[in-house]
């Protein structure tokens, strides 16, 4: 990996040893990487989507660790976590992994910050750990079965061609550096290096492909049923202070997803970012941090 990004991600690495996995290529479970900044009785837990990693939450870890303990995770197969080639890369497994970490660290008074796939993973974890969850901040995400699959993602699901494109040519991660942006014309070189750094080979990109392949299309699929269950259970979180911060120029999680989430959390305060695309933390980190600070004060 290029070293250019280390100056803007200067955090100590920590690893959580997960339980052994029946489909793993190792007798022991994979290690889940995370950063852990600051201290206090309040925690800010940041959960990324695909194809990013904890690097995208570097501004939160830098600016908020004086006010709360900030933990940003890398899902198995992503970022600096282990990338086993034989592993069940499913929504249910990612939820179990995140829940294991939160319990191991005994995180309390959690403000959960989620983006993209991190929404379903984070909310799934939250529903299993309700007493620990105090506030919620949602960024361009979904917590329900997909109402549509954008064509840019659908083409990556073609069984052979999609896998070659995502894992061989790194098309998914490289394309995301441009087509997810609106406010910014391009990202700084060190940011580009950081976002794609952990995904330098066919083996390194396994989770990128598996996330796309786990997007369900039919109601009889396990991930569809789990997403439906999460959506139906969101009322259990409706009494928590919540913020919805949305890049309105996102072609993937379009504004109708924002509206649907707002209906599930009717007490949430909504902030629309009219000139921001999908990579909210790259284009509007200060706006997000302002909303987290506001939420922490409630």
* pLDDT tens digits for range 103-114: 999 999 999 999
Mean pLDDT confidence for 62-76: 97
> pLDDT tens digit string along 141-181?
999 999 999 888 988 888 777 888 899 988 999 999 989 99
Q: Where is average pLDDT lowest: 18-32, 129-143, 229-243?
A: 18-32
Q: How far apart (Å, rounded) are the C-alpha atoms in residues 295 and 245?
A: 12
Residue % of the chain over a pLDDT of 90: 87
pLDDT at 23: 57
H/E element, 138? strand 133-141
The residue among 13, 45, 21, 1 whose CA lies nearest residue 196 is 1
Centre a 10 Å sphere on the Cβ of residue 58 and count the other Cβ atoms it contains: 22
Q: In what order do the strands lie in the sheet with 69-73?
A: 14-17, 31-37, 69-73, 43-47, 110-116, 133-141, 242-247, 269-273
What are the boundaries of each domain within the chain? 9-148+218-296
Q: How far apart (Å, rounded) are the C-alpha atoms in residues 218 and 225?
A: 9
pTM equals 0.95
Q: How confident is the model at residue 26 (pLDDT cuts 50, 70, 90)?
A: low
* Cα 76 to the center of its chain, rounded Å: 12
Q: How confident is the model at residue 296 (pLDDT cuts 50, 70, 90)?
A: very high
For residue 280, what are its two tokens? 């909210």
For residue 100, what are its two tokens? 């294991």
pLDDT at 163: 84
Q: How confident is the model at residue 22 (pLDDT cuts 50, 70, 90)?
A: low
Res. 3: pLDDT tops 80:
no
Res. 125: pLDDT tops 90:
yes
- Interstrand relation of 14-17 and 31-37 (parallel, antiparallel or unpaired): antiparallel
pLDDT at 27: 66
Res. 2: pLDDT tops 60:
no
Q: How confident is the model at residue 20 (pLDDT cuts 50, 70, 90)?
A: confident
| β-bridge mates for residue 136, sequence order | 112, 242
Asked if 260 and 144 count as a contact pair (C-beta separation under 8 A), the reply is yes
pLDDT at 157: 84
Q: How far apart (Å, rounded) are the C-alpha atoms in residues 64 and 116?
A: 21
How many separate helices (H) and strands (E) can be counted in the chain? 12, 8
Q: How far apart (Å, rounded) are the C-alpha atoms in residues 51 and 209?
A: 9
Domain 9-148+218-296 of CATH type 3.40.190.290: no
Q: How confident is the model at residue 295 (pLDDT cuts 50, 70, 90)?
A: very high
| β-bridge mates for residue 246, sequence order | 272
């Amino acid at each position: 990996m290029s070293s250019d990004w280390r100056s803007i991600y200067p955090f100590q690495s920590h690893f959580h040893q997960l339980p052994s996995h029946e489909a793993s290529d190792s007798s022991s479970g994979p290690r889940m990487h995370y950063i852990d900044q600051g201290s206090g009785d309040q925690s800010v837990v940041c959960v990324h989507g695909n194809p990013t990693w904890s690097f995208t939450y570097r501004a939160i870890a830098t600016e908020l660790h004086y006010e709360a303990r900030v933990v940003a995770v890398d899902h198995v197969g992503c970022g600096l976590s282990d990338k086993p080639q034989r592993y069940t890369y499913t929504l249910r497994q990612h939820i179990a992994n995140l829940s294991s970490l939160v319990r191991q660290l005994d995180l309390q008074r959690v403000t959960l910050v989620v983006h993209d796939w991190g929404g379903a993973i984070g909310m799934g974890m939250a529903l299993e750990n309700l007493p620990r969850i105090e506030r919620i901040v949602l960024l361009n995400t979904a917590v329900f079965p997909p109402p549509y699959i954008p064509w840019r993602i659908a083409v990556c699901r073609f069984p052979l061609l999609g896998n070659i494109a995502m894992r061989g040519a790194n098309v998914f991660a490289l394309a995301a550096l441009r087509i997810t942006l609106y406010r910014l014309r391009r990202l700084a070189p060190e940011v580009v290096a950081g976002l794609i750094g952990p995904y330098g080979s066919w083996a390194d990109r396994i989770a990128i492909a598996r996330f796309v392949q786990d997007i369900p299309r039919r109601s009889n699929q396990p991930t569809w049923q789990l997403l439906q269950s999460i959506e139906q259970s969101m009322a259990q979180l409706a009494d928590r202070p919540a913020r919805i911060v949305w890049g309105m120029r996102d072609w993937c999680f379009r504004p109708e997803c924002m509206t649907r989430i707002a209906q599930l959390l009717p007490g949430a305060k909504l902030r629309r970012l009219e000139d921001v695309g999908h990579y909210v933390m790259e284009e509007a980190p200060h706006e997000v941090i302002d909303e987290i600070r506001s939420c922490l004060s409630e």
